[in-house]
């Protein structure tokens, strides 16, 4: 896994944004996947700024949703697709037929990805327990998109978004580790001292389903972009 270590969070976001810009300039109709969480927020700002300054054109790109809570009523404010629209896709004026979520279920999203010709670039955040999207510890490296039960740890870490743990849905829908492994380019984006330990395990520990992020070490196309704070 090739590593790019950046001085601080702002340079990390700028560098990952450059990867997105390069991807789109070589293939304007790229199929892109973005993570949810706090880590990508600065990246989203750079992408929106890039579009505003016409440095990049997102109009032909397709966006596949990485993960979502299961069984949410339509318009539920906890929806991750809704969050991604609000933080990134609406400011980029992405049309709804270029946004591919889990509305039709987990098998349908695999079919959509195949029909679009596969994922060109998947950007992922690193969960405190090594999860990638909702691929919790124990997820098979060749898993497809599927419904999963969130671990107590993930429920706890998501509680800050929703006010309390009991508001966090217990099940999620996620692209699988196998779905991610088929992407042509994969970027793991990591920031901050809270990730030092899990990032060190991911890079230097055992490659094991107990740490889903370690699966990325098996992928020749995966890159790590991290800030110095996340590297011990
Ligand atoms: P974070 O979340 O970017 O808010 O740290 C990462 C994750 O849990 O996948």
Counts of helices then strands in the chain (DSSP H, E): 7, 10
Q: What is the pLDDT of residue 55?
A: 83
Cβ–ligand 1 distance for 127 under 6 Å, the answer: yes
Nearest CA to ligand 1 atom 7: 127
CA–CA gap between residue 133 and residue 123 (Å, rounded): 10
Q: What is the pLDDT of residue 148?
A: 96
Segment 125-145 mean pLDDT: 96
Candidates 34, 38, 154, 174: which one to mutate for ligand 1, based on the most atoms within 8 Å of Cβ? 38
Ligand 1 atom index nearest CA of 194: 5
Cβ–ligand 1 distance for 36 under 6 Å, the answer: no
Ligand 1 atom index nearest CA of 154: 8
Q: What is the pLDDT of residue 161?
A: 78
Q: What is the pLDDT of residue 34?
A: 98
C-beta neighbour count of 178 within 10 angstroms: 18
Q: What is the pLDDT of residues 102-116, one digit of tens each?
A: 999 999 999 999 999
Segment 18-41 mean pLDDT: 97
pLDDT band of residue 139 (cuts 50, 70, 90) is very high
Sequence-distant (≥ 6) Cβ neighbours of residue 94 within 8 angstroms: 58, 61, 63
Q: What is the pLDDT of residues 46-97, one digit of tens each?
A: 999 999 998 899 999 999 999 999 999 878 888 999 999 999 999 999 999 9
State yes or no: pLDDT of 153 exceeds 90.
no
State yes or no: pLDDT of 232 exceeds 90.
no
Q: What is the pLDDT of residues 193-231, one digit of tens each?
A: 999 999 999 999 999 999 999 999 999 999 999 999 999
Distance of CA 86 to the CA centre of its chain: 16
CA–CA gap between residue 87 and residue 228 (Å, rounded): 25
Side by side, the strands of the sheet bearing 99-100 are 2-6, 222-227, 185-190, 121-125, 31-34, 62-65, 99-100
Cβ–ligand 1 distance for 39 under 6 Å, the answer: yes
Side by side, the strands of the sheet bearing 146-149 are 67-69, 171-174, 146-149
- As a whole number, the mean pLDDT across the chain is 96
Cβ–ligand 1 distance for 125 under 6 Å, the answer: yes
CA–CA gap between residue 22 and residue 27 (Å, rounded): 8
Ligand 1 centre and the CA of 173: distance in Å?
16
The token pair at 146 is 């599927």
Residue numbers annotated as active site: 67, 129, 131, 136
Ligand 1 centre and the CA of 20: distance in Å?
20
User: What's phi and psi for 181, nearest 5 deg?
Assistant: -60, -25
Q: What is the pLDDT of residue 156?
A: 87
232 touches 13 (CB < 8 A): no
Segment 176-185 mean pLDDT: 98
Q: What is the per-residue DSSP string for 15-37?
A: HHHHHHHHHHHH-TT-EEEE--S
Cβ–ligand 1 distance for 38 under 6 Å, the answer: yes
Q: What is the pLDDT of residue 140?
A: 98
């Amino acid at each position: 896994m090739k590593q790019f270590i950046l001085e601080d969070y702002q340079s990390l976001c700028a560098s990952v944004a450059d990867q997105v810009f390069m991807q789109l300039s070589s293939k304007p109709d790229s199929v892109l996947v973005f993570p949810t969480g706090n880590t990508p927020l600065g990246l989203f700002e750079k992408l929106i700024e890039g579009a505003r300054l016409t440095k990049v054109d997102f109009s032909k790109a397709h966006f596949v949703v990485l993960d979502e809570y299961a069984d949410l009523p339509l318009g539920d404010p906890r929806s991750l697709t809704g969050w991604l629209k609000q933080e990134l896709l609406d400011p980029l004026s992405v049309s709804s037929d270029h946004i591919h979520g889990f509305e039709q279920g987990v098998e349908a999203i695999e079919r959509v990805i195949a029909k679009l010709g596969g994922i060109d670039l998947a950007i992922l955040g690193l969960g405190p327990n090594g999860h990638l999207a909702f691929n919790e510890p124990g997820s098979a490296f060749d898993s497809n998109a599927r419904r999963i039960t969130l671990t107590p740890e993930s429920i706890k870490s998501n509680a800050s978004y929703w006010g309390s743990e009991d508001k966090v849905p217990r099940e999620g829908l996620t692209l699988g580790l196998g779905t991610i492994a088929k992407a042509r380019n994969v970027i793991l984006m990591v920031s901050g001292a809270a990730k030092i330990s899990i990032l060190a395990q991911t890079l230097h520990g055992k490659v094991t389903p107990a740490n889903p992020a370690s699966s990325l070490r098996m992928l020749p196309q995966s890159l790590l972009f991290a800030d110095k704070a996340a590297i011990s």
